[in-house]
Each structure stands twice: as C-alpha cells, then as structure tokens.
Amino acid sequence: MKLYRLLAITMLLLNRKRISARELSERFEISLRTVYRDVETITQAGIPILSHAGANGGYEIMDQYRLDRQFLSIEELQSIIIGLKGISVGVGEQETSVLLDKVGALVAKSEHTTLNELNNQFVIDANPWCTSRDKDKLHSIRNAIRQRSLLRFVYTDSQSRLSSRTVEPMTIVMKGFSWYMHAFCLLRQEFRIFRLSRMKEIEQLPESFIRRPEPVIKLSYGQAEQGSSHYVNLILQLQPEARAQAEDYFGAEQIVTQPDGTLLINSRQPEGSWLYHMLLSYGASLRIIEPAHIADIVKKKAQQIVALYTTKH
C-alpha cells in the first residue's frame, strides 16, 4: 500500500506545478507526518523534489525531471498508442506519427510481438468521416489557438443564415462524429460553439487576443446545432422495426418495450430544428405523444414534404 501511495504521489507531482502537504494529506487520507516521511522517501530514491515554504508553498518536482520507461507497463504503452491513433486527424497525422515513433522506441524488441497482439485486440477510431478540407480547417484553427490570433470566417447557422464571424478561438471539440470549435464570438459578445462543417473562408487575422477565463464546455448536440438551452420532455411511441435506430440514439434506460412490441421512449432533449429533423427521420414508425406543440410542428413539416410531391406544375 505504501509503495502504491509513493508512486501515486510521484505521478501527482509530475502533473502538477506545486501541491501543498495539506492537500497531499487530504487526498491520500494520511497525516502530515506521513506526508513528510513519504516525500523524504521519494527524495532518497533519487527523485528531485523541491520544498517551498510560505502561504503558496508546497512540493514540486524539478522541471527537467522525467520518469524512465520502466514505470510504464506494456499494457499502458498500448493504451497510449491506441489513443494516439484514434485522434490522429485532430492532433495531426504527421505529429501523431512522430509521437508513435517515440512511444514505440520505449518498447523493447522482445515486447514487439506482445504489443502487436494487444493492438489487434482493441481499436478506437475517434476520427469523424471528414474530408481533407476538414483537416485543413482543423490545422488553421489549431494554429490560431496556439498563436492566440483572431479568426474570421463565414458561418451557416441552423436556420441556413449566413453571417461573417470574428472570434477568439479557444478549444477544438470532437462530439459524436463531428468537429466543433468553442470560441468567444465578438459579434454576439459571448462564448459560442461552431460546427466546422459550416465554417467557410477561414482566415487567421494578424490581431492577437488575451485568452479569457473559459467556462466549462457542456456540449449537447442540440446546443451545438441550435445554440438553444430550452429543453422539452419527449414521450414517443415507436414501432418495433425502429428499435435499432432508437437504441443508437436513446439510452437503454429511456426505452421501455410494451406488451404489443412497440417502444415507449421518455427523453429530455434540447428543442430546435435539429430535433424536428431527427424525429422526422423515423418516418411512419414514430408517433409523438407529448408535447403537443412538437407533434404539431413535425406534422406541419411532414405536410410540407407531401405538398412538394402533390403540387401540379
């Protein structure tokens, strides 16, 4: 137990600039006296820990220090490789390739066969179905974020309206099968989420900005598409043939199978045009029980679709 705690303290110090003895005591549920002994033991093992006194004091490891590969198991190295391969588009395929080479260099030749077997057992592909144009957009946005440069582009919102936006880019987000950018919009004077596929004519401007305190990103599909924070409680009835589509989207706890085989779905969703389109995608397999105004909207849209094929020219 003590050895595990010593390693955990070392890992924590490697990932934090400075941490106080009190925080270590509370985190590992040990006394301050034990903290002092543990730090001394780690120092005697050859890990250079610096101690700082005062109100902002605490412990930290020298900046130049790093752990040897011996602290990583073959399974942990495999996890790093799988993760890097899964995000290759977002990080940059060339950068990922260099990183993979460096991680691979940590693997002994005798372990290569084992590592290859492990890699064939588990694959993560977090890359959306994007085109080379999307990759170019990611590259431009990442450069702007790194250099803290303003970004200007033409954006198509969920209502198909075009507008020119100038933003302070903060974060690139991948949600589901799409890339998004979290940024402070100078036009709206607030943080907004922009979908990359709707951004055109991206231009990095020479003007720089000071990064603002960024709120925690809580990204739901509806908010990203619509910018709406209004939620509705849906009660839906689906025919059995729509089960696969329903289970792909709704959680198992939201679906109840009725005695006649139909599905009853209770789900809370952000309202917006994306929601109406999602409901329409079920076609005649769906009946909206509640709320009534959502049922009316979907009905009107369905009637408009029918009118396109019944109007005589």
Distance CA 147, CA 209 (A): 9
Residues 98 and 115 both lie in one domain: yes
From 165, 199, 219, give the residue that closes a domain.
219
Residues 242 and 275 both lie in one domain: yes
pLDDT recorded at residue 288: 95
State pLDDT tens for residues 234-289: 999 999 998 888 888 887 888 999 999 999 999 988 888 878 989 999 999 999 99
Which CATH number covers residue 292? 3.30.70
Contacts of residue 144, Cβ cutoff 8 Å, sequence gap at least 6: 150, 151, 169, 204
State pLDDT tens for residues 212-249: 887 666 555 444 444 445 789 999 999 999 888 888 88
State pLDDT tens for residues 200-213: 999 999 999 999 88
**Residue 297: inside a domain, yes or no?**
yes
Residues 190 and 240 both lie in one domain: no
Q: Could you list the residue range(s) of the whole structural domain that residue 93 is in? A: 70-119
Considering its fold, how many domains does the chain have in total? 4
State pLDDT tens for residues 137-188: 888 898 999 999 999 999 988 677 889 999 999 988 877 667 889 999 999 9
The chain-wide mean pLDDT, for the chain, equals 80
Contacts 24+ apart (CB under 8 A), 20-24: 20/57, 20/58, 20/59, 21/58, 21/59, 23/58, 24/59
Residues in the chain: 313
pTM listed for this prediction: 0.53
Task: Give the H or E element holding residue 76.
Answer: helix 74-86
Distance CA 210, CA 200 (A): 25
Q: Which residue has the tokens 């970004």?
A: 151
Contacts of residue 151, Cβ cutoff 8 Å, sequence gap at least 6: 140, 141, 144, 166, 167, 168, 169, 183, 202, 203, 204, 205
Count the helix, strand and coil residues of the chain and give each as a percent rounded to the nearest 5. 45, 25, 30
Please report the sign of the dihedral spanned by the C-alpha atoms of residue 54, residue 58, residue 59, residue 62. Answer: negative
Q: Specify the DSSP class assigned to residue 188.
A: T
